[in-house]
């Protein structure tokens, strides 16, 4: 008889992951995964334990760094240097959410004392956020660590107390299985609920997962078409659930005329763009895919010079490479566009492509120019006046980022106000590729960048997606969560009768 832990899963070394699913139908495989996740007990674990388990997983990932990087390089064609950095980011992200859980303000704990003199009378009310339940996470292709099995969606959901069933991406299946084994082994060694992390594979399993009645929310990173299909499925259930999808983003950049007033400034901005849109084959959701440049500044020539050393790169999958060929080819063949640069490429390797058009042509055919082309391509839109630029910006859709390249001291307040209406993050004199893990980060935007622009998939508030509020009215002390107990025994930030109370190591501080 195989020894199992409380979740019904044998510790690593006694049974290979997934042995009990051999021969199962997609529906039965998902049923097993969801049942094991739901019965894991993660939702009733203490915040201290959840933080400790997240740190144990981070340690486990870093301990297997070399093995994981080699495996990821084989499956994704990304460089070892890039993948090493991504392992570090993934471990950092897990520890970051452990800190978020320990700090406790994410709970939004609130207490209102009873007041019978009010009309209507106010009872005692105690409110906080609690975990939703089992969360489904769809792994991304372009970040095999940081947005995959143990990416931000999984880390924030586990931190919230929600067990996770991950739908592996077919672009790196062996890596997905191995990192799941490592994470589950780390959980087991730390005394954590191994069943809280499950993995399924296959398209049919993905749709079954979204439709499963015990799945309470979905995190997705991928294509607009695939995300929209799953979004519709989540909303079409008898009991609809939230679907947090990160889909397509064009990430517009505005280069002001003052920013490129000298040849040196033109060369500097062009070099920055070249490095950003070709980074790792342009396979970033934050790639600057649309750049508004002033006519006559010589920007195109400078960009061509900057791209001279850009090397072709094999893309993540054959499907992505084929889609890039179709998308870049269709733009290059348009009568209202011209190819500024097209690098030499081999059969299975993509080279940078730059296409240019006018502001008027962009406005007239913006639906086409705003379609994301995943890979090393960017579109330049030439504008001759502020009015032309404004008209072009008026047709922009939702995006994860927007950037402004401007001169020191230049007044870009009106431009920033216009762009913040369509983008979740504004970048000034920088480039959007690279998303820092921080309390103040927002990685989201309006459709089609995401399905829920008020939420982020990176940063501390990513945890909010997996939580729901509950209020205890005139509740006996014995039924209250410890975070709402009298005396604040766990020391979490709370709002008490309207005042924010922030405990510190030595003194409790009230903020009126």
| Residues identified as active-site | 246, 285
Bin 506: left if φ > 0, else alpha if -120 < ψ < 50, else beta: alpha
Q: What is the DSSP string of 280-335?
A: GGG--TT---EEEEETTS-HHHHHHHHGGGPPPB--S-HHHHHHHHHHHHHHHT-T
Q: How far is CA 461 from CA 54, 97, 230, in A?
A: 17, 10, 23
Q: What value, to the nearest 5°, has the Cα angle with vertex 254 and ends 250 and 260?
A: 140
Residue 135 to residue 192: CA distance in whole angstroms: 18
Residue 149 to residue 17: CA distance in whole angstroms: 14
Residue 491 to residue 508: CA distance in whole angstroms: 9
State both tokens at 340.
């500024």
Residue position matching structure tokens 């996740």:
37
- For residue 450, which of 216, 147, 219 has the smallest C-alpha distance? 219
- For residue 285, which of 141, 178, 182 has the smallest C-alpha distance? 141
**Beta bridge pairs of residue 358:** 382
Residue 41 to residue 59: CA distance in whole angstroms: 22
Residue 394 to residue 386: CA distance in whole angstroms: 12
> Which secondary structure element, helix H or strand E, spans residue 368, and what is its range?
helix 366-369
> How many C-beta atoms surround the C-beta of residue 3 within 10 A?
8
């Amino acid at each position: 008889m195989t020894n199992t832990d409380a979740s019904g899963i044998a510790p690593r070394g006694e049974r290979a992951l997934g042995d009990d699913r051999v021969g199962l139908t997609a529906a039965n495989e998902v049923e097993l995964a969801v049942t094991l996740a739901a019965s894991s007990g993660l939702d009733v674990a203490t915040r201290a334990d959840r933080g400790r388990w997240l740190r144990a997983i981070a340690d486990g990932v870093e301990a297997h760094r070399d093995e994981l990087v080699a495996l990821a390089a084989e499956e994704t064609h990304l460089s070892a240097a890039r993948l090493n950095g991504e392992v570090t980011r993934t471990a950092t992200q897990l520890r970051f959410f452990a800190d978020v859980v320990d700090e406790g303000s994410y709970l939004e704990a609130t207490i209102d004392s009873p007041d019978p003199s009010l009309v209507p009378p106010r009872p005692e009310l105690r409110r906080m956020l609690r975990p939703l339940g089992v969360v489904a996470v769809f792994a991304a292709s372009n970040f095999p660590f940081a947005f995959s099995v143990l990416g931000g969606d999984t880390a924030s959901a586990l931190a919230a107390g929600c067990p996770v069933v991950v739908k592996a991406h077919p672009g790196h299946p062996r890596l997905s299985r191995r990192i799941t084994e490592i994470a589950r082994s780390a959980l087991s060694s730390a005394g954590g609920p191994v069943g809280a992390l499950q993995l399924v594979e296959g398209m049919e399993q993905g749709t079954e997962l979204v439709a499963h009645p015990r799945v309470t929310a979905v995190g997705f990173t991928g294509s607009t078409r695939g995300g929209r299909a799953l979004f519709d499925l989540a909303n079409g259930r008898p009991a609809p659930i939230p679907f947090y999808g990160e889909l397509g983003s064009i990430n517009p950049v505005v280069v002001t005329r003052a920013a490129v007033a000298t040849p040196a400034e033109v060369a500097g901005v062009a070099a920055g763009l070249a490095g950003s849109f070709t980074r790792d084959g342009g396979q970033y959701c934050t790639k600057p895919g649309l750049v508004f440049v002033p006519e006559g500044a010589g920007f195109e020539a400078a960009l061509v010079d900057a791209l001279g050393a850009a090397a072709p790169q094999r893309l993540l999958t054959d499907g992505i490479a084929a889609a890039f060929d179709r998308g870049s080819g269709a733009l290059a063949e348009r009568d209202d566009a011209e190819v500024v640069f097209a690098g030499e490429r081999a059969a299975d390797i993509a080279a940078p492509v730059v296409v240019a058009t006018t502001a008027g042509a962009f406005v007239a055919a913006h639906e086409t120019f705003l379609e994301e082309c995943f890979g090393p391509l960017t579109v330049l839109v030439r504008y001759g006046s502020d009015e032309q630029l404004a008209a072009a910006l008026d047709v922009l859709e939702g995006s994860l980022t927007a950037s402004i390249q401007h001169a020191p001291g230049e007044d870009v307040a009106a431009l920033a106000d216009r762009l913040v209406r369509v983008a979740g993050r504004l970048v000034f004199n920088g480039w959007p590729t690279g998303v820092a893990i921080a309390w103040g980060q927002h990685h989201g935007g309006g459709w089609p960048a995401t399905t829920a622009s008020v939420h982020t998939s990176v940063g501390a508030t990513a945890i909010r997606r997996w939580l729901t509020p509950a209020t205890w009215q005139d509740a006996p002390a014995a039924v209250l969560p410890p975070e709402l107990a009298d005396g604040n025994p766990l020391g979490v930030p709370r709002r008490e009768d309207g005042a924010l109370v922030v405990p510190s190591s030595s003194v409790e501080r009230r903020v009126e």
